[in-house]
Chains A and B, each alone.
Chain A
Amino acid sequence: MSSPALRLCDLQFSYTRRGPRVIDIAHFALDAGEKVFLKGASGSGKSTLLGLISGILSARAGSIEFAGEDLAQLSPARRDDLRASHMGVIFQLFNLLPYLPVAENILLPTQFSSARHRACLEHGGPTKEGQRILARLGLDPALYWHAKTRDLSVGQQQRVAAARALIGRPKLVLADEPTSALDSDSRDAFIELVKDECAHSGAALLFVSHDASLAQHFDRTVILQELNRSAA
């Protein structure tokens, strides 16, 4: 009964007008708060799909319904606004702006979006909320809140990136192979922590990787090659 957080219909995309079709998806939906594992081989179009969902790329045909709007119909600027307000993104590596300390990296989304700033105010303000999330992700704010970004280990940087993606209660978290640089123990721990925090704030999670062994952590696994008609 609850409307899905995200729904794709007949989505088609190619990087250039006459270039090969990278994405061709008939249907895909993500329920609110659902945690989905999207598995795909390298070059199958995972990052491209996340670019479309986040609104950075423009679909050539089809629809992307998110937060009651069709991204495919929105102007690029409106999509940028929507992403700033309602989505958190975690990359594979180097998520942080090296010239900002941990605290300022985490708080950036609240500066880019007033909606996320307001969402923090309900929970004691951006700083308090940021420190709470950081603590839940296993980094002691007393030690790391004011730390320099370049002093952190890779695993710690990914947790800070997750905290930044989660601050201000986004509806959707997109993670593009965020654990590929971590060893298996810290990888499992990281996924559990992100999942917990998504559950806490009610965000849906679309987690992308080529590593099938991660599927056990998620409600559902989708294999991109089966979904994507152009990846054959």
Chain B
Amino acid sequence: MSRAPITTLALRSVFNRRLTAFLTVLTVAIAVCLFLSVQKVRDGARDSFENTISGTDLIVGARSSPVNLLLYSVFHIGDATNNITWDSYQAVANAPGVAWTVPLSLGDSHRGYRVVGTNNDLFARYEYGHNRQVRFEQGQALDQLFDVVLGASVAGDLGYDLGDSLVLAHGGGEVGFIEHDHNPFTVVGILAPTGTPLDRSLFVSLEAIEAIHVAGPTGRGMDMDHHDHSHEGEPEGDDHAAAYDLEALQPDQITAFLVGLNSPVAALRLQRAVNTYPQEALQAIIPGLALAQLWGLVSIAEKALTIVAAFVVASGLITILISILTSLNERRREMAILRALGARPGHIFVLLVSEAGILAALGAVTGLLLTYGGLYITAPIVEAEYGFALPAFSPNLNDLALVGIVTLAAGLLGMIPAWRAYRNSLADGMSIRL
């Protein structure tokens, strides 16, 4: 009886019912694809999330919660409760061990995108991913007072080019409530995509932020033109007479600043010093730690998704069970014929378990291929649109383990119809019940 061609017969029998088999395989494939996709997107999101900022040792802002400071300073979500004074900024900037600082002044927007008041150090110092630096796709850094540099998505979505003029508003909403029509900015640079919130930001000088706000609550604005804000501060005054007094535009407050240290080991000591700064309620956070803390919050949703996907896989497996159980009655004759030919009840058992395994394995592998195919097609789009890299096309051990687990689980489930068929084949004898 070792000659019994049971697995071949299982394959032929499955192929004979290929429409239901195909649908069953498809169900499992979609379930596995969903499960893997959730994992891939999760991995990609976490990677890009944790890579949003690197190379910065501390972020300093007004005292609130670390996650809050991280959210508004790096992700541009929410607003700072308080600003910090220029004097405090200078005090930390000049502390021993501090290599560089980048000031950030937030609170303005342009058509729903955040405006970041800063200086050109941002482009030189900001790092993301594995020490990747900000790069200019077109143009250059800030030079004139009313220059603006655009993140990649801002330029792309709003269709701005170098030399275009745009107007900035106070407040973070889609429609700024005070539009400073009198202060048109000129696009001088466009950044290459980074996959960070920088892509969705506009960058102007700190002085430009002040200039917008000189206008006051009436929104009268200051009659102005493009002015050099170089160190000499000499006004060009080409078209219009009125020039800004650059001294008056010296900011006395900023929202937060990034700190780079000569040696990262000093981070904890400086953090303590900042947190206990007597003149003002400051707070320093270490980006890596705060990011991990924030991901802990975000990952609850990710876990929920994973659980949902796992249930979808389970229901895919139950579909296999249903399809085999419903086929069992019409195949009772098939079993009786096989028994008459000399098949043992054990062969009938193996026949059904291997059928469940075959369907599940086919489904899981199809799901795997669907996932990789989907990643192959969508990864470049997602990277361009949302700025995070999906872990493309690398079948890792976990994926293969999933195929194994799904097949094994289906085999175990297949024992239910197999056991019934086994019992039937013993009880039926020669007579076949239909």
Stretch at the interface among B9-17, B142-150, B221-229, B258-266: B9-17
Task: Contacts A83-B342, A89-B340 given; indicate if A50 touches B430 (C-beta within 8 A).
Answer: yes
Residue on B nearest A15 in the bound complex, by CB = B427
Residues of chain B within 8 A of A83, CB atoms compared: 340, 342
Q: Which of B43-51, B76-84, B311-319, B331-339 contacts A (4 or more CB under 8 A)?
A: B331-339
Across the two chains, which residue of chain A brings its CB closest to B345?
Answer: A76
Q: Are B334 and A97 in contact (CB under 8 A)?
A: yes
Residue of A nearest to B336 (CB): A91
Within 8 A of B (CB), among A111-148: 111-114, 117
A188 part of interface (Cβ distance < 8 Å): no
Are A84 and B334 in touch, CB under 8 angstroms? no
Residue from A91, A100, A109, A117 in contact with B342 in the complex, judged by beta carbons closer than 8 Å: A109
Interface hits, A71-100 → B, CB 8 Å? 76-77, 80-81, 83-85, 89, 91, 94-100
CB-CB < 8 A to B3: which residues of A? 111-114, 117
| CB contact under 8 A between A108 and B341, given known A51-B431, A56-B430, A77-B1 | yes
A44 to chain B, nearest CB (A): 13
Q: Which residues of B contact A111 (CB under 8 A)?
A: 3-5
- Given the known A-B contacts A76-B345, A91-B340, are A47 and B431 also in contact in the complex, defined by CB atoms under 8 Å? yes
B1's contact among A50, A91, A97, A112, by CB below 8 Å, is which?
Answer: A112
Interface string of A6-46 (1 = CB under 8 A from B): 00000000010000000000000000000000000000000
A83 to B342, CA, bound (A): 6
Interface membership of B343, Cβ < 8 A = yes
* Cβ of B429 under 8 Å from chain A: yes
CB <8 Å contact, A56 and B334: no
Give Cα A98–Cα B15 distance, bound, in whole angstroms. Answer: 11
A197 within 8 A of B: no
Among A85, A99, A109: residue with most chain B CB under 10 A: A99
The answer to whether B432 has its CB under 8 Å from any CB of chain A is yes
- What DSSP secondary structure best describes chain B's contact surface? helix
B340-384 interface bits toward A, Cβ cutoff 8 Å, 1 = contact, 0 = none: 111111100000000000000000000000000000000000000
Q: A77 to B2: give the CA distance in the assembly, Å.
A: 11
| Inter-chain contacts of A225 with B (CB < 8 A) | none
Bound together, the chains give a CA A48 to CA B430 distance in angstroms of 7
Q: How far is the CA of A176 from the CA of B61 in the complex (A)?
A: 92
When distances are taken between beta carbons in the complex, the residues of chain B under 8 Å from A51 are: 429-431
Most buried by A among B15, B338, B344, B429: B429
Chain A residues near B13 (CB, 8 Å)? 97, 99
Contact A80 B342 (CB under 8 A): yes
Cα distance A50–B341 in the bound complex, in angstroms: 14
Q: How far is the CA of A96 from the CA of B334 in the complex (A)?
A: 8
Interface residues as binary, A151-173 with B (CB distance below 8 Å gives 1, 0 otherwise) = 00000000000000000000000
B64-96 interface bits toward A, Cβ cutoff 8 Å, 1 = contact, 0 = none? 000000000000000000000000000000000
Contact B342 A84 (CB under 8 A): yes
Q: Which residues of B contact A57 (CB under 8 A)?
A: 429-430
Asked if A54 and B1 make an inter-chain contact with CB atoms under 8 angstroms apart, the answer reads no
| A-side contacts of B337, CB under 8 Å | 91, 95-97
Query: Would you call A99 and B12 a contact (CB within 8 A)?
Result: yes
Give the distance in Å from the alpha carbon of A85 to the alpha carbon of B3 in the complex. Answer: 11
A212 to B353, alpha carbons, bound, how many Å? 44
Tell me which residues across on chain B come within 8 A of A109, comparing CB atoms.
Answer: 341-342
Partner of A84, one of B1, B336, B432: B1
Complex Cα gap A96–B131 (Å): 70
Complex interface bits, B395-432 against A, C-beta within 8 A gives 1, otherwise 0: 00000000000000000000000000000000101111
Residues on the B chain within 8 Å of A84, using CB: 1, 341-343
* Chain A to chain B: the 4 pairs with minimum beta-carbon distance, closest first: A84-B342, A99-B16, A51-B429, A51-B430
Sample of 11 more A-B contacts, CB < 8 Å, known A80-B339, A84-B343, A97-B337: A47-B430, A50-B430, A56-B430, A80-B344, A84-B341, A91-B340, A95-B337, A99-B13, A100-B12, A111-B3, A111-B4
User: 21 A-B Cβ contacts within 8 A?
Assistant: A47-B431, A48-B429, A48-B430, A54-B340, A57-B430, A80-B339, A81-B342, A84-B342, A84-B343, A89-B340, A89-B341, A91-B432, A96-B337, A97-B9, A97-B338, A99-B15, A108-B5, A109-B341, A109-B342, A113-B342, A114-B3
